[in-house]
């Protein structure tokens, strides 16, 4: 990798690797160390994506009893792993459609990618702590955009790509998914209105197993590829690949395994919110919601759109509540989710920009290592805090009672924050 070519805003490259005072061997070791930390951090993001988004596929099946909690996350993990190998269209969009690669020095780009990943991970873990199903995709994109702006200015972002492939799908996806699920739920209840409720529940629970499995497969085709795209971007920045090269198999395999492991861990706090907090859901509603989500996610993956599976799944669940006459829809919980959705990109962007600034000020591999240490410490602190009100397979399906259940109690903190003057 050359450290003296291309765009070099604010002396970024010289701060990272000063080749005038460092031997070639040490420069090479430093470059490899930085690349390794970026790849590790990318896989860590993929892992958080898995446990944060497990509820998108399995929350309704767990809530209705169609699948036992541990069986559900194991099935979802396997299908996420398989889905990651089915396509690379979304990975290509992430690798080439968000950050402007033209003329950017490799060292500067690696730091941008690293800082963006840290921003995405920290926002993912924070919203998991609150039990809020925010978008892992938008956390990643927000972190990358914030870091790119901080390092390269406004020209460091491909704004046409952001508008066409992030903003517009974010606005349309939950609306379309909700409408499809509402119509599907209405039709299901209309067709089966003469069938006793008990038989409805039993029959559609079997249907939920198939539809939830399809969502998990779709999630793998869409979300695992986002991390593939980021690692590909890092390899291009390092000089190991050119922008026109194909996706290496080891990148596909490692991303598939990371998202599968994260999914198996199970993001129980988010699963609880989606399964019990939004709608008092029945098996027919669950099947309608899951089928709608799978159809939309698979379509977006084939088109190369890095869609937020969280937005799709949440819109589908809300739509299933609207489509069933007399169903309970908790719009206050949906409102809290909406606040999280609106703040995800700017919040992750601010974290990404701050991480880039810290790495830039310290300089060299040490700057990257310090930011990595901050990431580990912050994640550990949030995990320890979550142990004060744990959510697990044993209590994930308890009745949703804001006065008693731990998850709503933590989510009320968001209400107080929003209501504060």
DSSP-assigned states of every residue in 233-264: HHHHHHTSS-TTSPPPHHHHHHHHHHHHHHHH
Q: What is the extent of the structural domain holding 166?
A: 9-419
What is the DSSP-derived secondary structure letter of residue 155?
Answer: G
Q: What is the pLDDT of residue 279?
A: 81
pLDDT digit string, tens, across residues 39-55: 999 999 999 998 888 87
Place of tokens 């197993």: 209
- Is 111 within 8 Å of 175 (Cβ atoms)? no
Q: Which string of b and e fits 124-143 if b means at least 16 CB within 10 Å?
A: bbbbbbbbbbbbbbbbbbbb
H/E element holding 209?
helix 197-238
**Which of 306, 309, 311, 308 is CA-nearest to residue 337?**
311
Place of tokens 């559609």: 204
Q: How far apart are CA 132 and CA 73, in angstroms?
A: 18
H/E element holding 323?
helix 309-323
- Is 352 within 8 Å of 147 (Cβ atoms)? yes
Question: What count of other Cβ atoms lies within 10 Å of the Cβ of residue 300?
Answer: 23
Specify the range with the lowest mean pLDDT, choosing from 23-27, 128-132, 317-321, 411-415: 411-415
Angle value at C-alpha 332, between 327 and 334, nearest 5 degrees: 75
3 in a structural domain: no
pLDDT digit string, tens, across residues 208-233: 888 888 888 888 877 777 888 889 88
Percent share of the chain, pLDDT over 70: 83
Specify the range with the lowest mean pLDDT, choosing from 13-27, 64-78, 374-388: 13-27
Q: What is the pLDDT of residue 418?
A: 40
- Phi, psi angles (nearest 5°) of residue 299: -65, -45
Q: How far apart are CA 103 and CA 94, in angstroms?
A: 18
**413 vs 167: which has the higher pLDDT:** 167
Q: What is the pLDDT of residue 246?
A: 82
The residues, ordered by sequence, that sit 6+ positions from 353 with a Cβ below 8 Å of its Cβ are 115, 119, 146, 147, 149, 150
285 in a structural domain: yes
**182 vs 9: which has the higher pLDDT:** 182
pLDDT digit string, tens, across residues 285-298: 888 888 888 888 87
H/E element holding 216?
helix 197-238
**Residue 118: is it exposed, middle or buried by C-beta count within 10 angstroms (0-12/13-18/19+)?**
buried
- Phi, psi angles (nearest 5°) of residue 99: -100, 135
In this structure, the dihedral spanned by the alpha carbons of residues 362, 365, 370 and 375, taken in order and rounded to 10 degrees, is 130
Specify the range with the lowest mean pLDDT, choosing from 49-53, 137-141, 160-164, 409-413: 409-413
Pair of tokens at residue 54 = 């497990």
**132 vs 379: which has the higher pLDDT:** 379
Q: What is the pLDDT of residue 232?
A: 87
Q: What three-state secondary structure class fits 274?
A: helix
State the pLDDT confidence band at 1, using cuts at 50, 70 and 90. very low
**Which of 49, 91, 40, 41 is CA-nearest to residue 219?**
49
The residues, ordered by sequence, that sit 6+ positions from 244 with a Cβ below 8 Å of its Cβ are none
In the predicted model, is pLDDT for residue 117 greater than 80? Answer: yes
Pair of tokens at residue 209 = 């197993």
- Phi, psi angles (nearest 5°) of residue 104: -85, 130
342 in a structural domain: yes
The whole-model pTM stands at: 0.81
The residues, ordered by sequence, that sit 6+ positions from 222 with a Cβ below 8 Å of its Cβ are 90, 297, 300, 301, 306, 307, 309
Q: What is the pLDDT of residue 402?
A: 55
186 in a structural domain: yes
**Which of 44, 53, 39 is CA-nearest to residue 222?**
53
26 in a structural domain: yes
Q: How many domains does the chain have?
A: 1
**8 vs 364: which has the higher pLDDT:** 364
2 in a structural domain: no
In the predicted model, is pLDDT for residue 273 greater than 80? Answer: yes
pLDDT digit string, tens, across residues 334-389: 888 888 888 999 999 999 999 999 999 998 788 999 999 999 999 999 999 999 88
Kindly report the average pLDDT of the chain as a whole number.
Answer: 80
| Most confident stretch, 158-172, 279-293, 311-325, 341-355 | 341-355
Q: How far apart are CA 338 and CA 233, in angstroms?
A: 31
- Is 178 within 8 Å of 296 (Cβ atoms)? no
Q: What is the pLDDT of residue 7?
A: 47
Q: Which string of b and e fits 199-220 if b means at least 16 CB within 10 Å?
A: ebbeebbebbbebbbbbbbbbb
Computed on alpha carbons and rounded to an integer, the radius of gyration of the chain in Å comes to 22
H/E element holding 368?
helix 364-386
Place of tokens 């700017």: 346
State the pLDDT confidence band at 12, using cuts at 50, 70 and 90. very low
């Amino acid at each position: 990798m050359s450290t003296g070519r291309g765009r070099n805003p604010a002396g970024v490259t010289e701060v990272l690797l000063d080749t005038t005072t460092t031997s070639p061997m040490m420069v090479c070791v430093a470059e490899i160390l930085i690349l390794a930390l970026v790849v590790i951090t990318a896989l860590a993001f993929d892992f958080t994506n898995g446990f944060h988004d497990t509820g998108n596929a399995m929350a309704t099946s767990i809530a209705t009893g169609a699948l036992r909690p541990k069986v559900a996350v194991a099935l979802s993990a396997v299908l996420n792993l398989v889905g990651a190998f089915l396509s690379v269209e979304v990975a290509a969009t992430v690798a080439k459609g968000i950050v402007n690669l033209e003329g950017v020095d490799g060292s500067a780009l690696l730091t941008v990618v690293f800082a963006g990943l840290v921003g995405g991970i920290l926002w993912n873990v924070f919203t998991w702590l609150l039990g809020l199903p925010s978008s892992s995709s938008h956390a990643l994109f927000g972190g990358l955009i914030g870091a790119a702006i901080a390092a390269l200015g406004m020209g460091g972002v491909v704004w046409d790509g952001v508008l066409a492939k992030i903003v517009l799908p974010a606005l349309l996806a939950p609306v379309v998914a909700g409408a499809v699920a509402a119509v599907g739920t209405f039709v299901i209840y209309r067709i089966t209105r003469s069938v006793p409720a008990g038989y409805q529940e039993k029959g559609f629970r079997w249907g939920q197993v198939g539809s939830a499995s399809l969502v998990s497969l779709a999630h793998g085709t869409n979300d695992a590829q986002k991390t593939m795209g980021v690692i590909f971007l890092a390899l291009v920045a390092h000089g190991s690949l050119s922008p026109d090269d194909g996706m290496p198999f080891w990148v596909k395999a490692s991303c598939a395994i990371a998202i599968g492991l994260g999914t198996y861990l199970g993001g129980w706090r988010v699963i609880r919110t989606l399964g019990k907090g939004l709608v008092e859901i029945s098996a027919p509603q669950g099947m309608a919601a899951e089928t709608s989500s799978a159809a939309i996610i698979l379509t977006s993956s084939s088109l190369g759109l890095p869609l937020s599976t969280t937005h799709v799944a949440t819109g589908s669940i809300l739509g299933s509540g609207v489509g069933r006459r007399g169903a309970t829809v908790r719009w206050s919980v949906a409102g809290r989710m909406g606040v999280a959705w609106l703040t995800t990109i700017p919040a992750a962007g601010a974290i990404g920009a701050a991480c880039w600034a810290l790495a830039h000020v310290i300089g060299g591999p040490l700057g990257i290592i310090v930011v990595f240490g901050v990431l580990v410490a912050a994640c550990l602190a949030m995990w320890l805090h979550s142990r004060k009100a744990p959510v697990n397979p044993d209590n994930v399906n308890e009745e949703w009672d804001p006065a008693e259940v731990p998850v709503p109690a933590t989510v009320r903190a968001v209400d107080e924050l929003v209501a504060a003057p």
